[in-house]
Chain A
Amino acid sequence: MTADTRTNNLIINADLVTAILTRFIRTEIRRAGFERAVMGLSGGIDSSVVTFLAAQALGPENVLAVTIPYKTSSDATTRDAQAVVDQLGVRTIEVPITGQIDAYFAQFPDASRMRLANKCARERMTVLYDQSAAFNALVLGTSNKSELLLGYGTQFGDMASAINPIGDLYKTQLYPLAAHLGVPGDILAKTPTGDLWVGQTDEGELGFTYAEVDRLMVLMVDRRWRRAELIQAGFAAEFVDRVAMLIRRNHYKRRMPVIAKLSPRTMDRDFRYARDWGT
């Protein structure tokens, strides 16, 4: 198995994916009785792709891109988000969260930067849900499949949404899609970051690149290769084990909270209805 063959598992046809995802957004928004969508726009590739898809699906006038900076957010974040807004003509609003975050942590001056990062993610979530009420819209999610599998996101924070169009696309697959949609080149070129603190990068924090881990996960998760087969194909045993552990350990983030079963029919266990029930 050559490296090239493994990379090919991540090939997408951007035309087909765009056709499916724009219809998905339109259908899901409308069946819930809405015409509009809201998303947090960070100027990264994930939220930019979602904003482009939403603008194409619903029309730019029906899309509200919310920028939600904290005082440490970088200038690049603001600049790149603005470029997306300018190019698409979607509506936008900036809602800084420095005031409420700092007021809260004044009570806990020794809090770790992870607590700060998670608090910011959840604060942004409440802003988005409130703005969705004001704009009469649903919140679109911007978590990709790589993040969802690795658990690289905040539960009830950036992972929260009504509809997630990109949750089944690996980070690597978002680049050809972004290029196809016309996302500005500066956004495609920059290093992925959650902008959680100054100088933070996803890959620095995870300890591997998305290109590496996506090649592994597409085989492990989608093609169901066994550990020995992955090692045989050239992946280091420690890398395979670490990724498998992250996927397993973070599974709770991908499920609704566990409910103790007491009655004949329990949510998510034997009370089984499609979410799109009746629409």
Chain B
Amino acid sequence: MSFPNRSLTSRPTVHRIALAQIAPFLADRQRNVGLHIEQIKAARAQDADLIVFPELSLTGYFVRDMVPDVAIMPDAPDIREILDAAGPMAVVLGFVEESPQHRFYNTALYAEGGRVVHLHRKVYLPTYGLFDEQRYFAAGERFLAFETARFGRMGILICEDFWHLSAAAIMQAEEIDVLICPANSPGRGIEGPRVRTAETYEHLSKAYAQLLGAVVIVVNRVGFEDGLCFWGGSSVTGPDGRTIAQAPQLDESLTLATVDAADLRRQRLITPLARDERLLLTIEELNRIKRNRYDC
């Protein structure tokens, strides 16, 4: 039996996280590479250990018929250039990924030390209301956590993935330390001081942070595309559900947050929810539901 490297003693516990709340240029990858490198330089100047960009940060959101034109593979020169600029700093960014089978995915990558460690292909592609993603993208088929050199075990849920309780439950079962949600969330609902969508993201972030006993990082873009207003409001939430850092609404910003991984231990001592999960029971119950629903 082998154990992943989860030694807390050999790992630094205090991390500087940079939230790159940008307004990408729609389908102009070249300019967006420049935008990423600018943010990376600024984050490195502030000693960030990790920089997180929004969903589809290399392309913008309403890519539509331009999907095949802006798609790249994870080893593309654009990504290489960005990772080189990041040096020792870890990076999460979003792009349109073309698979060897010529399927196109809404993908976020995690890289450290200049190496791509993990790709998450968005599973839940919203296709209702103002959204049209299934028309253009293939859906990812896995929710996988992964080990990082510095931040412990990590999971990525892209925007709509974050709204699915099952995705968060899988991440809890994966026993992650950090949950990252790159988003392109357009604002709807104007009756309060923030768009209503912002309220939902805050509820979800606080709930997941507490339920998973993990740090939750949401990075949402800003700017407009065809009248849609992306509201920003990126945040880092600690495992106790308290907001550690909050980027402004509506405007571009690079917001730095300091996260202490020792908080994970403290919170899990107080409320050991993941420890007490009955994974086999959950699987049995889901299997029962599956039999009832799908088996003839």
Contact = CB atoms under 8 A, between A and B. Distances in A.
Interface of A: 11-13, 15-17, 19-20, 23-24, 27-28, 168, 271-279
B158 interface: no
Contacts of A17: 190
Interface string B45-74: 000000000000000001111100000000
Interface centre among A15, A17, A272, A276 (most CB of B within 10 A): A276
A24 B224 contact: yes
B250 A13 contact: no
Contact of A278 (B28, B191, B227, B250): B28
A277 B64 CA distance: 10
A20 B65 CA distance: 27
Contacts of A28: 224
A73 B122 CA distance: 57
A272 B65 contact: yes
A2 to B, nearest CB: 18
B223 A13 contact: no
9 contacts: A11-B191, A13-B190, A16-B190, A20-B229, A20-B250, A273-B64, A274-B27, A274-B226, A277-B26
A28 B26 CA distance: 13
A15 B193 contact: yes
Interface residues on B, range: 20 to 34
Nearest to B222: A23
A20 B195 CA distance: 10
Contacts of A15: 193
Nearest to B224: A27
Contacts of A12: 190-191
Contacts of A273: 64-66
B226 A276 contact: yes
Contacts of A23: 224, 229, 250-251
A277 B249 CA distance: 24
B100 interface: no
Given A16-B195, A23-B250, A279-B26, A274 B225 contact: yes
A59 B226 CA distance: 23
Contacts of A13: 190-193
B88 interface: no
A279 B64 contact: no
Interface of B: 25-28, 62-66, 187, 190-195, 223-227, 229, 249-251
A279 B27 CA distance: 8
Nearest to B26: A276
A279 B23 CA distance: 10
Q: Chain A's interface: helix, strand, loop or mixed, by majority?
A: loop
A168 B190 CA distance: 11
Contact of B65 (A27, A271, A278): A271
A274 B191 contact: no
Contacts of A168: 227
A275 B62 CA distance: 9
A159 to B, nearest CB: 16
Nearest to B251: A23
A113 to B, nearest CB: 35
A272 B195 CA distance: 28
A132 B25 CA distance: 26
Contacts of B227: 24, 168
Contacts of B193: 13, 15-16
Contacts of A19: 249-250
A277 B224 contact: no
B194 A276 contact: no
A138 B223 CA distance: 19
Contact of B187 (A11, A20, A276): A20
Contact of B64 (A11, A27, A274, A278): A274
A16 B197 CA distance: 13
B190 to A, nearest CB: 5
B194 A16 contact: yes
Nearest to A26: B224
Given A12-B191, A16-B195, 9 more contacts: A11-B191, A13-B191, A19-B249, A19-B250, A20-B190, A27-B223, A274-B26, A274-B63, A276-B226
Contacts of A27: 223-224
Residue of B25, B28, B194, B227 contacting most chain A CB atoms (<10 Å): B227
Nearest to A270: B65
Nearest to B63: A274
B192 A16 contact: yes
A113 B62 CA distance: 44
B25 A279 contact: yes
Given A19-B250, A23-B250, A28-B224, A277 B66 contact: yes
A267 to B, nearest CB: 12
A276 B63 CA distance: 10
A277 B65 CA distance: 10
The 6 closest A-B pairs by CB, nearest first: A274-B62, A272-B64, A11-B191, A272-B65, A27-B224, A274-B226
A210 to B, nearest CB: 18
Contacts of A275: 226
A24 B190 CA distance: 15
A275 B27 CA distance: 12
Contacts of B26: 274, 276-279
A9 B104 CA distance: 40
Nearest to A25: B224
